[in-house]
Amino acid sequence: MSNQLEKEYIQMRDDLCRIGIIDIGSNSIRLVIYDTTLEGGYKIIKECKYSARLSEKITKDGRLERKDMNTIVPVLHQFKEICSAFEVDKIRAGATAAIRNAANSEEIITYLSEASEIHIEVISGHQEAYFGFLGVINAFDVQDGFVIDIGGGSTEITLFRGRRYQQSISFPFGAVNTNLMFSHGGNWNGDQVRKLQAYVIGRLVEHDWLNSGAGLPLYGLGGTLRSLGKLDQKMRDYSLPNSHGYTLSSETIDHFMETLPTIPYEKRKDLEGLSKSRGDIIVSGLIIFHTVYKYIGASEALISGEGLREGMLHDLLEPEQPVRESALEFSLNTIIRFDIRTSKRHLDHIFKLALSLFDAFGAEGDRDEQRMLIYVSIMLHRTGSNINHYQSKRHTRYWLMNSPIRGLTHRQLILGALIASYSTKSRKQKLSQTYKDILLASDEEWIHKLGTLVQLCIALDSTEIGIVSGLEARLHGNTLDLELQGAGELLIGLEDIENALKTFRNVWGLKVKLGFPSSG
């Protein structure tokens, strides 16, 4: 076992590829550096941003002037230096709406590529929509929905069904250029709002398929959506301030539409949760978003932390099959690969024990969700030991609450964290209290029940050498017969098992008859 672990550690850096993705957008230019695995998993190592507002630099005849592009070249040079310092193996750079829609697009791309010595590709509107879809679909376990990506100079809308891309459209308007066209320096009156709404609807009506998905969720990308999410979380004093997966209800979106345009720009830019650089363009972005949301008849909006850049990465790493069947499974495997210092075989073994125990109990509550929470908790229970082995549970809880686990709702993320970090002292605490704005009243009981079950199964293989090879659990009234299977004698970890079993019995209200494997 130790030799196997040693081999896994040695392989950890050898089979990683470090990739830099440069996104030359209409509002900002970003570099994100990822470590990637052979399986297509990735982890962000570095992110840099430069606010360029290219959409504002387009002349009346639709050109981008060379003098304005000269300010971009040093930025790209520095990005290249950063990639060199981080020993990046491959750079992929793409330019979106501002450059794509410029009358002299080809000339600008050639100039920037030669001057920066970085090959830059023009990302078409169709590609931009597709990459945004790839970012979203691999970050959520959802079958059907719409994606909206509101950039500085364009807005992409995509429809997907059965986790497959269906149709998309790229419109040449975004938060920056519509702010210039319709507002007065970031200030809005009712007439200006109505004019932008009419302008957006005038383009939406040209595409019949936008009316074919009423009641589907809308997944939002870009700074407008992230900013609205942060503003809403501040107002609600939301207990898990993560952007990814945060839900904006129809009522919330309507409330923003009623209030934000009426606040003068000078006051708006000081709103808590809103970055000063977005104070002027938040309203134009909101009007586009609200108009689309109402037009397609969306049920709710969810913010995605992954979009164009991750989509470019998925397309680069897995061009033939970039869509994962399960965002959660893909996410967990990636986290285990990067952040957990134990073998997947050991984690799978604990999960097998946990299912054998869990299946002894009758159906109560959402069994599929409970099994999934057991799985997530077991797979990630060791994350905190990366910080400190002796306080690993405390660190595991924090890590999971703030982790890049995809495919879970905020509620499920909290439940997974509380179950994975459960300790013998937890049964005396009301663990759901801090997150009562997110959790259900019934969740408290299941945190304790699943928490004790998971911790008992972890204790059964605390040595990580599989002495307990399996278990048989049978429930008779108030008594649980728990027969442990295995060829060897349990010597080490008995105290861990006894402590976990005591808490398990108390929480489940059971008598437990435990049979150990014999040495024979």
Find out whether 215 and 90 touch, Cβ atoms under 8 Å.
Answer: no
Radius of gyration of the chain, Cα coordinates, nearest whole angstrom: 26
| 481 beta partners | 474, 513
Residues 170, 148: Cα–Cα separation, whole Å? 10
CA distances from 415 to 328, 380, 400, 434, 447 (A): 15, 13, 10, 12, 7
* Strand bridging mode 145-150 / 120-122: unpaired
* Strand bridging mode 145-150 / 42-51: unpaired
Residue owning tokens 């709103």: 271
Cα dihedral across residues 97, 100, 103, 107: positive or negative: positive
**pLDDT attached to residue 121:** 97
Residues 354, 458: Cα–Cα separation, whole Å? 9
CA angle, residues 31, 34, 40, in degrees to nearest 5:
135
3-state class (DSSP) for residue 251? helix
**pLDDT attached to residue 304:** 98
Residues 159, 169: Cα–Cα separation, whole Å? 9
Backbone angles phi, psi at 305, to 5 degrees: -80, -5
Residues 262, 276: Cα–Cα separation, whole Å? 17
Q: Which amino acid is at 109?
A: I
* 303: enclosing H helix or E strand: strand 301-303
Sequential pLDDT tens for the chain (520 residues): 445 544 544 455 568 999 999 999 988 999 999 999 999 999 999 999 999 889 889 899 999 999 999 999 999 999 999 999 999 999 999 999 889 999 999 999 999 999 999 999 999 999 999 999 999 999 999 999 999 999 999 999 999 999 999 999 999 999 999 999 999 999 999 999 999 999 999 999 999 999 999 999 999 999 999 999 999 999 999 999 899 999 999 999 999 999 999 999 999 999 988 988 899 999 999 999 999 999 999 999 999 999 999 999 999 999 999 999 999 999 999 999 998 878 899 999 999 999 999 999 987 889 999 999 999 999 999 998 888 888 889 999 999 999 889 999 999 999 999 999 999 888 889 999 999 999 999 999 999 999 999 999 999 998 888 889 999 999 999 999 999 998 777 778 888 999 999 999 999 999 999 988 764 4
Residues 491, 431: Cα–Cα separation, whole Å? 33
CB atoms within 10 A of CB 19: 22
Residues 97, 209: Cα–Cα separation, whole Å? 23
User: What is the Cβ-side half-sphere exposure of residue 270, based on CA atoms within 13 angstroms?
Assistant: 4
* Strand bridging mode 247-248 / 301-303: antiparallel
Residues 294, 256: Cα–Cα separation, whole Å? 14
**pLDDT attached to residue 2:** 46
**pLDDT attached to residue 14:** 66
Q: Token digits for 5?
A: 């672990």
Residue owning tokens 């407008």: 224
| 44 beta partners | 34
Widest distance between CA atoms in the chain: 88
Find out whether 235 and 319 touch, Cβ atoms under 8 Å.
Answer: no
**pLDDT attached to residue 464:** 84
**pLDDT attached to residue 4:** 53
Backbone angles phi, psi at 353, to 5 degrees: -60, -45
**pLDDT attached to residue 349:** 96
CA 89 from chain centre, in angstroms, equals 25
Closest by CA position to 141, among listed 402, 320, 325: 325
Residue owning tokens 């099959």: 321
